[in-house]
Amino acid sequence: MVFRFLLLFRENFRIALRSIRSNLLRTVLTILIIAIGITALVGILTAIDSIKSSLNSQFTNMGANTFTISNRGMRIHIGEHGKRIRYKNITFREAMQFKDEFTFPCTVSIYTRASGTATVKYNTVKTNPNIQVLGVDDLYIQVAGHEVKKGRNFTAQEILMNTNVVILGNELVKNLFALNENPLEKIIAIGNGKYRVIGVLKEKGTSFGGQGDKICLLPLNNVRQYFARPDMSYTISVMPADSKFLELAFNEAEGQFRTIRKLTYKDEDNFEITKSDNLVNMLISDLKYVTIAATIIGIITLLGAAIGLMNIMLVQVSERTREIGTRKAMGAKSKIIKQQFLFEAVLIGQIGGFLGIIFGILSGNAVASFIGSAFIIPWVWIIGGVILCFLVSIASGLLPAIKASRLDPIEALRFE
């Protein structure tokens, strides 16, 4: 039984190849149309998977499984009695009280923005006035997802004693210091103050709202002393010991901070709590529209390919009428004739699908390479592309195959 099936498969394959060679131009054009449809589908969906992977990686580097408690922005009521509601800033006392009293197993860090337009100077080299300066505690680097490339982190003593030390972002080091010059223990100027460099952060990038690598980290109390201003607000970052308890920690922190700010159950929150994955989830959710668009483009292209393939197969039936009559006269059953034409349609479709999958993977991963994501082999879309091409081939080849199988052998032999 298996041997008979293999013989039938070989014979159908041989006939299909001969037919393809005899109508090479039309067949190649149809294969290319199918390939373009699958390329559009697989390529765009592969690129989307790469973008999702890159987004998750970027946000992991920005501090995965964390949430921040920050000042709530101004709210405006519109109407006849429209008014502005300005929420009070989170004070240092409130932030420290939360850190001391929050007993959930997690790491809590406090930081504040000293300046977003600072100028940093080393000897005669000076940066543009666009440097981010943050006042942080000794846990900030861990919670924010940074890593120290050279040197060390702040000590608790340096935070407490307002020590003039600084940790620099990697790009800032490249701008201030000559190639291969060791920045550690060098004295730099930030505004009017002098600071000793004790560490350099590993490169992190500037994607999606992060401070990037043009950043200075100063001890929190140092910033409170030298960068103090009336509207200074503090941000609290919380990282649970286990990521699966993120939601529980989030709810506990909200209740704890409402108590600190003396809010009753009737009062709305006058602060904001933001999860680190909120933005990435929103961006990934928006990508579904691109996925839908890619699917529609692929289906429309494949519909055109299906029409072209059906046209080729109908022409084949007309051109091979005498051949079909001869085969039937020699004993070939209608079932065999139908199988031969369906096999030919499936072969053309699978060749186009194979080329489309290859081009789709290459084009999708070209996008992945451009955004710095890892090489992806989208097995789901590959299998989906093969199945889709098979269905298109069957749908396109069924009508011509039925028409060929129903030809009368006597009339077919008389056909000119």
**pLDDT tens per residue, range 310-359:** 887 777 777 777 777 777 777 777 777 787 778 888 888 888 888 888 88
Q: What percent of the chain has pLDDT over 70?
A: 83
Token couple for 139? 């846990």
For 72-222, strand residue ranges (E) read: 75-77, 83-85, 106-118, 120-122, 125-126, 131-136, 148-151, 165-168, 187-190, 193-201, 215-219
Which is more confidently placed, 210 or 376? 376
Cα–Cα distance, 94 to 177 (Å, whole number) = 39
Give residue 78's pLDDT. Answer: 44
3-state helix, strand, coil in the chain (%, to 5): 55, 20, 25
162-208 confidence digits (pLDDT tens): 899 999 998 889 889 888 889 999 999 998 889 999 999 988 755 44
pLDDT band at 12 (very low <50, low <70, confident <90, very high): low
Token couple for 76? 């405006």
Cα–Cα distance, 7 to 79 (Å, whole number) = 82
> Does the structure show a pLDDT above 70 at 285?
no
Give residue 200's pLDDT. Answer: 93
| Mean pLDDT comparison of 232-246, 267-281, 301-315, highest-scoring range | 232-246
Which is more confidently placed, 381 or 386? 386
Mean pLDDT of 147-152: 90
Which is more confidently placed, 207 or 407? 407
- What contacts 42, CB < 8 A, 6 or more positions away? 356, 357, 359, 360, 361, 364, 378, 381, 382, 385
Cα–Cα distance, 107 to 68 (Å, whole number) = 12
In degrees rounded to 5, what are phi and psi of residue 102?
A: -75, 110
Among 119, 122, 115, smallest CA distance to 174 is for 122
> Does the structure show a pLDDT above 80 at 118?
yes
Give residue 220's pLDDT. Answer: 94
Residue 120's beta-bridge partner residues? Answer: 190
**Residue 189, burial from CB neighbour count under 10 angstroms (0-12, 13-18, 19+):** middle
In degrees rounded to 5, what are phi and psi of residue 187?
A: -100, 125
